[in-house]
Amino acid sequence: MFAELSKILNPTSLIPEESLIILLSIPVMATLVTVSRHIFGWKGLGVLLPLIMTFSLVSLGIIYGVLISVIASLIAILVRAIIKKVRVHYFSRISIILASICLFLIIIFAIVEAFGLGQVFNLPVLPIVLIIVAEEEFIGEFLKHGSKNAFMLYVETLCISTIGYFLIKWSFYRLFLLNWPFALIFLVIVLNIFVGRWKGLRFIEFYRFRKVIKAEKDKISTESK
């Protein structure tokens, strides 16, 4: 009885290390997104996208992951510009763009492989699929709110995912996670409660409202005079 209980309390002995790290990193990544949104003011694209990107980066390796994502985005921007004038339904537009991304990626992979520039066909395929599917969100943002918004969101998502990647690869984090998995979850919940009740200005709002703050400051100083 006690033996089973102690086993459950120490899941490292039951679940493979890598799975445990990935699983427990989900709430950590979600928290990272929460903090970057509410404290710093980065909008990101929800929790899902940075999560998908992070795990894709982890399993593809940072260089291949970022490269594939950037190439896919560039192709998306290019194809969108080309078919901009064609009047088709929204979903058709997305499908055309996705098709072009797949086509170009396969061609690029083939070229890389043929010239012996890298070992791309050995890469796991699922993370690549995830990256391409994630493109849909960016394209949607592109079509709806314009290129500037979409670009910012893309860069922010990529940044958060890269931070997530380095966090997951950080040995201290891995050790902490494997030794005290429950403490980590507790920490995450406490942090989220704190951030969730945070009412102050976000970092970028200090910049956005700098003129308002200055005007308010002038008002305070003239009132006190």
Q: Is 27 in the site for another protein (CB under 8 A)?
A: no
Among 11, 27, 41, 118, binds another protein (CB under 8 A): 41
CB of 181 to another protein, least distance (A): 30
In this structure, what token pair is assigned to residue 200? 């102050």
Does residue 133 touch another protein according to CB under 8 A?
no
Is 40 a binder of another protein (CB under 8 A)?
A: no
- Establish if 122 lies at the interface with another protein (CB under 8 A): no
3-state secondary structure of 44: strand
8 A C-beta contact, residue 201 and residue 208: no
Q: Which of 87, 114, 115, 172 binds another protein (CB under 8 A)?
A: 87
Minimum distance of another protein from residue 191's CB (angstroms): 15
Q: Which of 1, 2, 3, 89 binds another protein (CB under 8 A)?
A: 89
Residues 6+ apart with CB under 8 A from 131: 52, 53, 56, 65, 68, 69, 72
Show contacts with another protein in window 141-160 (CB under 8 A). Answer: 143-145
Give the Å distances, CA to CA, from 74 to 52, 64, 71, 80, 135.
Answer: 19, 15, 5, 10, 10
Residue bearing tokens 């979903």:
91
Region from 69-77, 139-147, 151-159, 166-174 binding another protein, contact rule CB under 8 A: 139-147
Exposed e or buried b per residue across 84-120, where buried means at least 16 C-beta atoms within 10 angstroms of its C-beta: eeeeeeeeebbebbbebbeebbeeebeeeeeeeeeeb
Residues 192-221, interacting with another protein (CB under 8 A): 197-202, 205-206, 208-209, 211-217, 219-221
Measured from the CB atom, the residue of 22 and 143 that comes closer to another protein is 143
44, β-bridge pairs: 46
Stretch that binds another protein, among 60-68, 83-91, 119-127, 155-163 (CB under 8 A): 83-91
User: What is the Cα–Cα distance from 19 to 141, expressed in whole angstroms?
Assistant: 32
Rg of the chain, C-alpha, whole Å: 22
Residue 7 interacts with another protein (CB under 8 A): yes or no: no
Residues that bind another protein (CB under 8 A): 38, 41, 87, 89-91, 140, 143-145, 197-202, 205-206, 208-209, 211-217, 219-222
